[in-house]
Amino acid sequence: MKNKIYSLLGFAQKSKNLFSGENTCEIYIKKKVIKLIIIAEDASHNTLKKMINLCNSNGIPYIIFGNRDMLSKSIGKINRTVFGIKDENFAKKILEIAELLNIERSV
């Protein structure tokens, strides 16, 4: 089931519906483009706190899932800890899977 999230991230990347990297995601959160944020479990405490605060203040759901290596590999990049989904359908599907897996999330 976790593999489905990784696959969806790959599809989102290929269809240009995904942003990656803390700074990039921060910009697009503020522009109200992002529908879901995925934060790697091994992100730094400061990154985790900053992204959760940004999501909460902008009403954007987030999940804390996976590690940076697996998440980065799924989109063909390296060393990324924050991922932003801009397509509503991708976001909904990932949130559904996260709920089934009891992944820590906020909506």
User: For 2-31, how does the pLDDT look when each residue is reduced to its tens digit (9 = 90+)?
Assistant: 789 999 999 999 999 999 999 999 999 999
Report angle CA 74, 5, 61 to the nearest 5 degrees: 115
Q: Where are the domains of the chain?
A: 2-106
User: For 45-89, how does the pLDDT look when each residue is reduced to its tens digit (9 = 90+)?
Assistant: 999 999 999 999 999 999 999 999 999 999 999 999 999 999 999
Q: Does the predicted model carry a pTM greater than 0.85?
A: yes
CATH annotation of 2-106:
3.30.1330.30
